[in-house]
Amino acid sequence: MNGMICQGRDAGLTQAQAWIDSMKLGEVAKAKWFVQKVPLNKVYSSNGLDTNNVYLFYPPDAPTTEALRQEAAEINARKLTKIMDLQDQIKELQRNLPDME
């Protein structure tokens, strides 16, 4: 995906967050990392953009995206392992509870 020019920071952040969500990178990426102000001056104002409020959303290249995916997968695996450990602890505690009858 190529960069996208957005009218306003919020629009850029929205696009970046949508990309992060679609790539399932919410654990390892922040929208603000991929949005930056475009330093335009009045020469470019003829195309109808408010040149004081133009931002660029630019996703990372494929190798960086893959590294982020790998990191997210590792975090999710650790979370799942922790959940399974906690479930095992709950079962053990339930077995050790005395009967209330």
Q: Which of 33, 49, 29 is nearest to 41 (CA)?
A: 49
> Residue 66: inside a domain, yes or no?
yes
Res 39 pLDDT > 80? no
Provide the domain count of the chain. Answer: 1
8: left (phi over 0), alpha (psi -120 to 50) or beta: left
Asked if the structure places residue 61 within a domain, the reply is yes
Per mean pLDDT, which range of 45-54, 72-81, 86-95 is the poorest? 45-54
Q: Per-residue pLDDT tens for 5-34?
A: 888 899 999 999 999 999 999 999 999 999
In terms of residue numbers, what domain contains 15? 4-96
Q: Does some domain include residue 101?
A: no
Residue 50 lies in a domain: yes
